[in-house]
Chains A and B, each alone.
Chain A
């Protein structure tokens, strides 16, 4: 069933001097099992939008349906919603606080008032999903590397067994290898657990490589909602709103402009390599 957003508006500080229309008439649908990328420059409304999706911020008007039920209806169980829609904030490792890795991951399911066995089995499962084995369980989360801390924080959300996982820039500040490790793990969750993923990122290269669909936000409005290939075709418009396409898009378009009959749908290095080799072998 997934998430459906209808005519969602959000106004910060309504009636004050700082009034700001942060979300303007957003309509969108995210189906079960989709891997969606959400991009937009700082201040475009993407973080505001994702906080609506698990009910942390309440829209000024409009509706959000989770699995067919309007979350703004009286009596809707918001706490349950927050465990179904897991949100991993930016720099989630800043929120680690327990004495060891395992207790930290247990915190979420503990709040869901589950039995001790259930809490522990879910936490084990979540840590396995992010690739941390038992040797990490008793270590202090503060003695881990940046990438490991972040994986512990993600496990903390996974332990609540969300159906939808939203990650706000999960790779910011990580080195290229750490970035690939986190993204590969997220992709595995998507493939193996059929989890719906919403990935907020500034890295167009990452988005192009992983997601099925891209939502582009600008000034609180949804401006594009399509496959990466279609969205990156608009690279000039993306630049105008403070974004960019992957470097490879520029290579392909420049070749095309200079008369090479290359397929401009290309968004990854592998595709570009194969297409150029094909053209050269003619």
Chain B
């Protein structure tokens, strides 16, 4: 069993009227079974309303399964006595940094989690130091969080989660409100935590560029897992992704479009370098003619 395991997970949102009669039942997660290995970087994609955030909330028992089971390191999240252990092990980071930061200064905010867990003071400070260093925010420890940029705030929120020493971090669209620089900062930080500290990462996002370095990509639609594979496998299936209201990175789309027009390129090109490696040789033989033409010569075929 991996660090996170879901078996036949079902979750219904139930809306009731004033007399408590059930008005509407909406199935947000529909029979999901997943096993996630420790230390992996997992990206979850899906359009708004596909069930990915609901799934994320199952992982630290903010929501509990309607049917089926979720285990975090073997602990069943639906057992009340496991609640604190589960929350210690999976940390959550949400979309809006302003809703997550409560301290007056950065170090206080980062210390809030471990303090609530009853960690001794000295140990709290040690963890605050380590976490702030891990996200590169140590120079800001005495600053007020509301004078930080969006990307910096998200890094503080991540440090706050880190200070609780989780085995796994779930980030629910952490970059949706950030500018390109802030986005890069946060994604880089999360990758470093994954590589250096060995933390399992689940990143939920709409930005396809953030997904290309993941170990595994899971695509959700209507509460089900509809695609599951490496980025290369997933992004080879351009039309299928589009049918789930998703996109592919521009480089991938360009390669796909060229291939459709008969240019012989491999499927699932993800990066600029990959595209160049595969595209440059295609110009052999064409280039010299073009240059020759520009020089006024005519070699012809």
Contacts and interface: CB of A to CB of B under 8 A. Distances in A.
A18 to B, nearest CB: 9
A247 B209 contact: yes
Contact of A43 (B149, B173, B245, B276): B149
Main secondary structure of the interface of B (DSSP, over half): helix
A273 B181 CA distance: 28
A177 interface: yes
A223 interface: no
Interface in B174-230: 176-182, 206, 208-209
Interface in A227-282: 242-244, 246-248, 250-251, 254-255, 258-261, 269-270, 272-273, 276-277, 279-282
Given A248-B254, A260-B283, A42 B182 contact: yes
B263 A280 contact: yes
A98 interface: no
Count class of interface residues, chain A: 35 or more
Interface string B63-104: 000000000000000000000000000000001000000000
Contacts of A145: 48-49
A109 B201 CA distance: 48
A264 to B, nearest CB: 15
B287 A173 contact: no
A176 interface: yes
Given A247-B272, A261-B290, A282-B286, A273 B257 contact: yes
A117 B271 CA distance: 56
A247 B180 contact: no
Nearest to A242: B181
A42 B154 CA distance: 14
Given A42-B182, A247-B251, A254-B276, A175 B48 contact: yes
Contacts of A172: 176-177
B272 A272 contact: no
A147 B180 contact: no
A261 B150 CA distance: 40
B95 A175 contact: no
Contact of B245 (A178, A273, A277): A178
B36 interface: no
Given A260-B287, A277-B258, 17 more contacts: A41-B180, A146-B48, A175-B48, A175-B50, A176-B47, A176-B245, A202-B179, A202-B180, A205-B250, A244-B180, A251-B275, A255-B276, A255-B279, A258-B280, A261-B287, A273-B254, A279-B286
Interface of A: 41-43, 145-147, 172-178, 202, 204-205, 242-244, 246-248, 250-251, 254-255, 258-261, 269-270, 272-273, 276-277, 279-282
